[in-house]
Every structure is written in structure tokens, then in C-alpha cells.
Amino acid sequence: MRLITKRRLFTPGPTPLHPAVQEALARPILHHRTDEFRSVMKECRLGLQKFLKTTGEVLVLACSGSGGMEAALANVLSPGDTMLALVAGAFGERWAAIGKAYGMDVRVLEAPWGEAVSPETVAQALDRDPNIRAVFVQLSESSTGAAHDVEGIARVTNGRETLLVVDAISGAGAMPLDTDAWGVDVVVVGSQKALALPPGLAFLALSRRSWDRIESARNPRFYFDLRRERKSQAAGESAFTPAISLVVALRAALLAVEEMGGVDALVNNAAVLAEATRAAAGALRMPLVAPRHHGNALTALYPPEGLDSGAIVKALKSEFGSTVAGGQGGLKGKILRVAHLGYYDATDILGLLSTLEIALSRLGHRFELGSSLAAAEAAYLRQRPDARS
Ligand SMILES: *Cc1c(COP(=O)(O)O)cnc(C)c1O
């Protein structure tokens, strides 16, 4: 006889919807040229400023995260400009690909997948080539779980004429990000990650010095013309029809973050769950893809020796209804990725680890049942020595 299985996403986008988001999405739609919508939009922009720790302009765009990346790049550069992409995974490659599509002179600094490009390497590249107009990087490289030292890289770009553009699509709300204090010029965020919304919105935080570039850039722009968006959004509108229902849900998501203690609490939540997952991985002899540079938005793991990662993904889905992500690019079919960003709690992650043990056991992996849970629970207790810490 069959058992009940609940459908659960443990993918680093989309992530599970917050119940307040689901409730907001079920409401009748508003018209966007109304005071009611304009006030929602204004609240969202203020909430996003808080979420991203900036007093600068934040724009809401109707597109997926990659649309936000394209909008950022197309607005701060002009055709033929030299740009530097830090590439340590599939999303770093995307920066380079967008640059090529727009006819930029793309320089690349590569790190092996699972590692990160260091601020020192960036400094050397900028010393060698002072014509580099902007540096593009991921805060959290979702294809490997690695994190870049964005604070350190910002220290390098701050004293120069080079802008720093950060894809924090999976990093914001999962990893520390202090946009203004670090001096990041452009931050890109997507709705379907730590904010626990459906896909469909991208957010851009823009520094004052990035606006000088945006005003003078010579790239063709239309839908993603940030100059026009800035004017409309200052009045609580947008240049074209906004994704109204998603914006209404965004307000609910931002309120939910505040209720849980703000962005720092959300970041800490991901850190606790990620640390427990890494402890469990050690007990299961599943090597981390990014052992030295791991972030906390997600954990990427190789399967135990002799096991196929695809079989593990399939087993979790078919027996337990849980979706974990496989690999991308060169890691396709080789790894598992488990998300911690957004609306996850300890029971979600400990439950997943428990069912992962059952799946591994069925696939013939030899280990002591419960050993990864013991490691994860100990990691949890270490980080939270009392119930309210
Ligand atoms: C999810 C993600 C993206 C892409 O976002 P889409 O919404 O799929 O376009 C880009 N960068 C990172 C780091 C991501 O995690």
C-alpha cells in the first residue's frame, strides 16, 4: 500500500513559497494605475532597500533573474567596453555570455568549479588592464555552492573607476551582503530564491556612481531601460505593466522576513541549516563540491563512491516526493544540490537528510543508519546551545 508523500522543493530556485506569499497570490488582482498599487510598490521598494542594506535606488523588474543580469550589464556598459567576468561556475559563465551577446570585450578570470576567484587576483587583473569598466561576479555561485568574497572584491573596485556588479540572485537573504557599506555598485536579486516567491521578478540595487554610467551608456535599451524605470518607479509605477500579483506577494514576503527577525535572521537560518548539512555529508562520505569556499545558500555534494547522483535524485523524488537539484554544465549528472535559502526550517532539512539515508541505503551504500543525523543534530546543537540562542 502506498504511503503519503508531500511534494517538497529543495532546489536553489525555485524554493518553497512562504504561506503569506501563497495567500497574497490568491487575492483578486489590482489595477496598477491606482493609489492602492502605488502604495504597495513604494512599500516594496523600501522593504527591498532594507533587505539589501542600501539607501540607493532599488528597481523591480518583471523578468527572471537572468533578465536582471542582462538589464544590469546592458545599462552600465557601452558597445566595445572592456569588462571582467569572474567565472567559477555556470552562472559566472552567464555573465561572460551576456557580455559577448552585447558586443563587449569580455575578459575572464576563471577559478575551477567549486573554488572562487580571490580579491588579489581581481586586483592584479585591474592593475594590468585599467580599461576594465566593470567587474561581474556571483555572491553565491549556485552551480557549485561556492561563495565569492564580495566584500574583499569591493575593496579592490572601490578606489578605481571600475564598477562592481554582483549577481546575488541566490546569495541575497542567504549570505551576508552589505551593499552600501561594502560599496557594491549593482546588486541583482531574483524572486524565487530566498524571498520565497514564485519566479518572475528581478530586483536591482544601484549605487549613485552606477547612475552616472547608466545615464551615459550607449547600449541600445528599451524594455530594460533603467533610466525610464527609475522615473516611473519613483512614482510607484513602472514603465510597462508590472507583474502586479507578484508585486503584491513581494510585499507579503518582505513583511514575512521582518516578522522572522529581518534579513540577518534569514541569513543565520541558512547558515545553521547549511552547517548541519555539511556535517551530515561528512558522515555519509559525500564530498562537498566547494569544501574551501562553501556558501550557505545551498550545499552541493558528490555522491558516495560508486553511486550515481541521478539515482539518488530519482529515489528522493519517487519515494519521498522531495526534489533536490542535480548538477549543471560540467557537473551535470555528477552532483546533488540541496537548498537552504529561503523558507526552510530544521525539520525540513533533518527530514530530508533522514530520507536521504534511506535512499542511499536502498542504493547499496554501506554506512551506519542514523550517523548523518547524529552529525547534523550535533552541528545544530553546537550552533544553538540553548533553544532560544
Ligand atoms: C537562479 C540563479 C540565476 C538565474 O536566475 P533565473 O531566474 O533562472 O534567470 C542566476 N544566478 C544565480 C546565482 C542563480 O542562483
Q: Which of 167, 197, 204 is the pocket-test mutation for ligand 1 (most atoms within 8 Å of CB)?
A: 167
CA of 272 to the centre of ligand 1 (A): 23
Nearest atom within ligand 1 for CA of residue 12: 15
Cα 68 to ligand 1 centroid, rounded to whole Å: 9
Show the cell assigned to 137: 561576479
| 44 close to 37: Cβ distance less than 8 angstroms | no
The label of the residue with cell 558586443 reads 103
Task: Say what the pTM is.
Answer: 0.98
Element at 285 (helix H, strand E):
none
Nearest residue (by CA) to ligand 1, atom 5, is: 65
Give nearest CA residue, ligand 1 atom 15.
170
Helices (H) then strands (E): counts for the chain: 14, 13
DSSP 169: T
Place of cell 505593466: 241
Burial call 87-115: b when 16+ CB within 10 Å, e when fewer: bbbbbbbbbbebbeebebbbbbbebebbb
Q: Could you report the average pLDDT of every consecutive run of 10 residues in the chain (389 residues)?
A: 96 98 98 98 98 98 98 98 98 98 98 98 97 98 98 97 98 98 98 98 98 96 98 96 98 98 98 98 98 98 97 98 97 97 98 98 98 98 91
Amino acid at 337: R
What is the pLDDT at residue 181?
98
- Ligand 1, atom 2, lies closest to the CA of 169
pLDDT at res. 15: 98
The C-alpha atoms of residue 317 and residue 313 are separated, in whole angstroms, by 6
Q: Whose CA is nearest to atom 3 of ligand 1?
A: 65
Q: Are 330 and 144 in contact (CB under 8 A)?
A: no
Q: Ligand 1 center to residue 170 CA distance, Å?
A: 7
State in Å: Cα 172 to ligand 1 middle. Answer: 12
Rounded to the nearest whole angstrom, what is the distance from the C-alpha of residue 136 to the centroid of ligand 1?
14
Separation CA 281–CA 22 (nearest Å)? 33
Helix (H, G, I), strand (E, B) or coil at 195: coil
- Residues with Cβ within 6 A of ligand 1? 12-13, 64-66, 91, 138, 140, 142, 167, 169-170, 190, 199
